[in-house]
DNA sequence: ATAAGTAGTGTATTATTTACACTTGAAACA
DNA sequence: TGTTTCAAGTGTAAATAATACACTACTTAT
């Protein structure tokens, strides 16, 4: 009995001085990570949802997530989960918030950390795994009700992404390494749900000098092909270290 | 033995499939909160440090923090800690990051959430408590080495504060409810470590319309007394809900 | 050749930011 | 009762940045 996770019984309240709470009760938390994985496709910002393969909420839609292993950090756990789902080792990943409502998990006391991740859909082919019966890319404005408190975790992540994408080079993670300015503009428009003037968008982005002009061109388009660019991470580092920040 | 917190023994690695890890090992995390409490005094931004009253790191300087109780959320725990230290119930408080390095705590596996808090020094009188032998306001640029990974937690919080204070009404929490524009300017200059032009600062702040002109004046100053203002939270809410955001 | 369609550029207008000098008013002192 | 001192508070010209929008350029398709 003593080994079981903390009971969720509402009668089991600890309205007593801390020294009357058995010491080991302070060390019975479960820790999990829930990932909000963003991708961009067909001019739409999408998020990766799974159909849960295990209780609780088996069969329901949720964010991919799992308990943190005893020897893992949260970041390691998040990478493991994404690797299981997409096969890719390297992901851009950032924390959002911690969710610690006492009753947020129906079975045990589990505190979860939200993270978001931003990937190029074309490079990844998500597939079902031990804990996910199905995996789906869902446009962010069509996300249905999710298991646990994942509605909230998703909303918060989207809001934080929208804030961050304006000043950090997050957007480039969503695109192939070679892209065209119109794609970049479409991406920002999809993420932020706004429209930009083409000429002004170009001027702003190009004035930053962190895009490398590859002197290559689009192929197979039925009109004048556009120049290909890539994000120059070194140049960007150089710029940020002297106070520069992307402004979109 | 099974009831003890997770061992920090580096030999106890779990490089095995999850189903070979005993189930209860997933529920032996300790969860804590560490608060970075900011205050403003004498034109300086300061942070509240404690001298630890208990092992580990007894006697060393650290951020105020404690284990989360089994029936608490992280936010509740953070408020409890600050109440213990300052006697005040209501605090402005925000999460910063989660710190989950496996070896960050020398005794047990404890994951901590950093929070920051921003208070009016004049209204609070911090005092030693069960877990704090001493309490000190230290200017942010004179913070010495701290216990655990608190150096890092502090640095991150300061960076996040500096980012947030430019667009959220965080600064007002540091001042008495009635203040003078010069005080507000001094505060922003101390937090951000920059200088503003007086005329332009006023124009910018006043153009937001979220300051209420109290038609009252400073007293006891040996020069022309300045107008007193207060932050109008209702007006601010109204403005933000229609897309407005503070810009400093 | 020419039409269609997107790539990419130039520029006038408007809005915002910056720098800095100025005026105002209360208290202190002669 | 001036006059000085000190910071409060204002006005404005110049520089910079944001916006709107029309234009040219180039490649494919017919």
Looking at residue B16, its pLDDT comes to 52
Omega before A58 within 30 of 0, i.e. cis:
no
Contact flag A67-B26 (C-beta cutoff 8 Å): yes
Looking at residue A67, its pLDDT comes to 95
* Cβ-based neighbour number of residue B188 at 10 Å: 21
Query: B141 φ, ψ to 5°?
Result: -95, 10
Rounded Cα distance between A233 and A169, Å, is: 9
Residues B162-179, mean pLDDT to the nearest whole number: 95
Rounded Cα distance between A48 and A38, Å, is: 7
- Beta bridge partners of residue A98, listed in sequence order: A113
Q: A2 to chain B: which residues are within 8 Å by CB? A: 2-3
At B18, the pLDDT band (50, 70, 90 cuts) reads: low
Omega before A59 within 30 of 0, i.e. cis:
no
> D5 C1' – A105 CA distance, angstroms?
67
Q: What residues of chain B, 64 to 83, have a C-beta less than 8 Å from chain A? A: 67-75
Looking at residue A243, its pLDDT comes to 83
> C5 C1' – A182 CA distance, angstroms?
14
In the block, which residue shows the tokens 């890719």? A88
Rounded Cα distance between B44 and B166, Å, is: 17
Spell out a b/e string for A150-186, using b for 16 or more CB atoms within 10 Å of the CB, else e: beebbebbbebbeebbbebbbbbbbbeeebbbebbbb
Give me the architecture of the B178-241 domain, per CATH: Orthogonal Bundle (1.10)
A17 vs B: CB within 8 A: no
The highest-level CATH class for domain A177-241 is mainly alpha
Does residue A224 approach strand C to less than 7 Å at its CB?
Answer: yes
Residues A91-112: pLDDT tens digits?
Answer: 999 999 999 999 999 999 999 9
For residue B135, which of B44, B51, B47 has the smallest C-alpha distance?
B51
Residue B8 pLDDT greater than 50, yes or no: no
The answer to whether residues A87 and A125 touch, using CB atoms and an 8 Å cutoff, is: yes
Residues B130-142, mean pLDDT to the nearest whole number: 94
Residues B175-201, mean pLDDT to the nearest whole number: 97
Residue B9 pLDDT greater than 80, yes or no: no
For chain B, which residues make up each domain, given as ranges? 18-164, 178-241
At B3, the pLDDT band (50, 70, 90 cuts) reads: very low
Looking at residue A3, its pLDDT comes to 36
The answer to whether residues A122 and A183 touch, using CB atoms and an 8 Å cutoff, is: no
Does residue A181 approach strand C to less than 7 Å at its CB?
Answer: yes
Higher pLDDT, B135 or B25: B135
Task: Spell out, as residue ranges, where chain A has pLDDT lower than 50.
Answer: 1-15
Rounded Cα distance between B46 and B37, Å, is: 8
Looking at residue A10, its pLDDT comes to 32
The answer to whether residues A155 and A99 touch, using CB atoms and an 8 Å cutoff, is: no
Q: A27 to chain B: which residues are within 8 Å by CB? A: 4-6, 28-30, 108-109
Does residue B222 approach strand C to less than 7 Å at its CB?
Answer: yes
Higher pLDDT, B79 or B17: B79
CATH topology of domain B18-164: Nucleoside Triphosphate Pyrophosphohydrolase (3.90.79)
Lowest mean pLDDT among B6-10, B32-36, B162-166, B237-241: B6-10
Helical pair B181-192 and B198-207, crossing angle rounded to 10 deg: 100
3-state secondary structure of A243: coil
Residues B44-67, mean pLDDT to the nearest whole number: 95
Rounded Cα distance between A70 and B199, Å, is: 56
Give me the B residues in range 219-248 that sit within 7 A (CB) of strand D: 222-227
Rounded Cα distance between B116 and B159, Å, is: 11
Looking at residue B12, its pLDDT comes to 38
Rounded Cα distance between B189 and B186, Å, is: 5
Residues B92-116: pLDDT tens digits?
Answer: 999 999 999 999 999 999 999 999 9
> CA angle B87-B91-B97, nearest 5°?
120
| Cα-based torsion angle of the residue sequence A231, A237, A240, A246 in order, rounded to the nearest 10 degrees | 10
């Amino acid at each position: 009995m003593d080994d079981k996770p903390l009971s969720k019984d509402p009668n089991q309240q600890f309205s007593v001085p801390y020294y009357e709470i058995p010491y080991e009760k302070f060390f019975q938390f479960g820790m999990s990570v829930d990932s909000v994985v963003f991708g961009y496709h067909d001019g739409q910002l999408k998020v990766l949802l799974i159909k849960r393969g295990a209780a609780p909420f088996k069969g329901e839609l949720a964010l991919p997530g799992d308990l943190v292993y005893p020897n893992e950090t949260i970041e390691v756990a998040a990478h493991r989960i994404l690797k299981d789902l997409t096969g890719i080792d390297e992901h851009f990943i950032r924390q959002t918030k911690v969710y610690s409502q006492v009753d947020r998990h129906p079975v045990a006391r589990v505190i979860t950390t939200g993270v978001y991740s931003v990937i190029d859909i074309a490079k990844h082919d998500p597939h079902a795994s031990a804990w996910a019966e199905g995996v789906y890319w869902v446009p962010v404005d069509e996300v249905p009700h999710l298991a646990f408190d994942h509605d909230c975790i998703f909303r918060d992540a989207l809001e934080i992404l929208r804030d961050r994408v304006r000043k950090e080079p997050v957007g480039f993670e969503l695109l192939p390494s070679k892209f065209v300015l119109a794609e970049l503009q479409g991406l920002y428009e999809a993420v932020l749900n706004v429209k930009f003037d083409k000429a002004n968008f170009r001027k702003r982005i190009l004035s930053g000098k962190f895009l490398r002009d590859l002197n290559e061109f689009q192929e197979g388009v039925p009109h004048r092909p556009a120049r290909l660019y890539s994000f120059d991470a070194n140049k960007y580092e150089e710029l940020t270290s002297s106070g520069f920040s992307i402004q979109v």
